Structure 1
Amino acid sequence: MTRDRHPAVRGTERLVLRQWREGDLEPFARLNADPDVMRHFPSLLSREQSDAMVDRLSGHIEAEGWGMWAVERRDTGEFIGFTGLAVPRQDLPFQPCVEVGWRLARDAWGHGYASEAAREALRVGFDELGLTEIVAFTAVANSRSRAVMERLGMVRDAAEDFDHPAVDVGHPVRRHVLYRSVRP
């Protein structure tokens, strides 16, 4: 991964959405090891898994010019998580698709950052990439992310709710809800 050489790629009033940097690895690993942040995922991530995720996300941005960007606050320069667009790696029943997603550190919750950054990601998807639809999905019980999806104007497609193939049968986060947004 080539880190620390990339200028900000996107921005909002309060946030910078950018390529990943070496300095993001430690705070991202802490975020991925936080039980509150990872409550709606199958497991916490080890440092090695977290670093590998950064390599994968950074590589996609390097290759495509878009992806799951690192997010930092404009006022402090603090890394707070990621937001962006991705093509899911799993075989999902509603593919092909592009998803909008986010994961923020616990102390960044409740400030509207997820909605603000995801709104910019949707804009990029529709206005710059020419997508006609973008999806979002999460575990049924993840009310915080579902609220972000609804604030973004996404609509739940209950007929397409699904069991996530990367989550073990019987795991409490296996069942997922699907939301859709179409080009305005």
Structure 2
Amino acid sequence: MKNYIIETDQLALRELTMDDFEVWHHILSDQETMQYYPRAFDEDKTKSCIDWNLANYDKYGFGLWAVILKESNQFIGDCGITMQNIHGDGNLFPEIGYHIDKRYWRKGYATQAAKACLRYAFENNGFDEVFSYQKWTNIPSRKVAEKMGMSLREEYADEKNIKTSVYSITRSEFYTKSVMSDRI
């Protein structure tokens, strides 16, 4: 059994490894799953993404983690905290991100994993604010951000997304919002 970083009733999150390449590439190379990205990932992009996460674990102590469905031990995607240059100005901010295998969409797994990662971000790091950002047309991700208790902070034009929506929640909001008292 792998060393889990986070567990919920249904999910376990652990560090990604190169052993996850095939199953993760299957998810990241799917056109529908990656519809809000410029393009689906090829094998090189998936490998570089694993390398990037391994480097993030060493540098920050976190990154995107493998999401495992506990009842079947099935790898169903990733979720975690990454440091992102949200505004393109060189400043890095903690962001909750995820990719879930489309066979497991609409079951609440993205929200469950994202809430657990948000809790982890505030309980294990000194962050004053945590973000989620996405292409403005990515309604499912916007809904997950709202279910995490985040609020839309801004939208701005950019080359990659045409328009990017930025959600966030502050540490004080996190500890006062009832959404986080829900069992995860």
Give the TM-score of the pair, scaled to structure 2: 0.86
**Structure 2 Cα separation of the partners of residues 71 and 62 of structure 1:** 19
Query: 1: distance between equivalents of 2:100 and 2:83?
Result: 20
Q: Which amino acid aligns with 2:135?
A: A
> Is contact 2:86-2:93 (8 Å) kept?
no
Contact kept? 2:16, 2:64, Cα under 8 Å: no
Spell out structure 1 runs of 4+ moving beyond 4 A: none
Higher mean displacement: 70-79 or 84-93? 84-93
In the alignment, structure 1 residue 29 sits paired with structure 2 residue 25: yes
RMSD: 1.9
Question: 1:80 pairs with 76, 80, 89, which one?
Answer: 76
> How far apart are 1:74 and its partner, in Å?
0.8
Aligned to 2:135: 139
Question: Which of these residues, 53, 57, 71, is aligned with residue 61 of structure 1?
Answer: 57
What's 2:167 paired with? 179
1:106 equivalent in structure 2 = 102
Task: Measure how far apart 1:51 and its partner are.
Answer: 1.2
For residues 88 and 62 of structure 2, the distance between their equivalents in structure 1, rounded to whole angstroms, comes to 21
Match of 2:45 among 46, 49, 53: 49
State the shift of 1:122 in Å: 0.7
* Aligned position for 1:162: 156
Alignment deviations for residues 48-99 of structure 1 (CA, whole Å, 9 cap, x no partner)? 1111101111221134321211111111111111111111156535944111
Correspondence for 2:180 = none
Q: Residue 157 of structure 2 aligns to which amino acid in structure 1?
A: D
User: Structure 1's 7 and 164: CA in aligned 2 closer, same or farther, altered over 3 A?
Assistant: farther
Query: What is the identity, as a one-letter code, of the residue corresponding to 2:166?
Result: L
1:17 pairs, out of 7, 13, 18, with 13
Deviations 1:135-166 (Å, cap 9, x if unpaired)? 11111111111111111110001xx312345x
More strand by share: 2
Equivalent residues of 1:115, 1:151 under 8 A apart:
yes
Change (3 A) 1:106 1:28: same
Q: 1:28, CA displacement in angstroms?
A: 1.0
State how far apart, in whole Å, the 2-side matches of 1:12 and 1:132 are.
Answer: 24
Task: Give the SS at the match of 1:87.
Answer: strand
User: What amino acid does structure 2 have at the position aligned with 1:70?
Assistant: A
Cα distance change on mapping 1:87 and 1:24 into 2, 3 Å = same
What SS class does the counterpart of residue 80 from structure 1 fall into?
Answer: strand
- Structure 1: gaps of 5 or more residues: 168-172
Q: Taking structure 1 as reference, are residues 130 and 90 closer, same or farther at Cα in structure 2, changes over 3 Å only?
A: closer
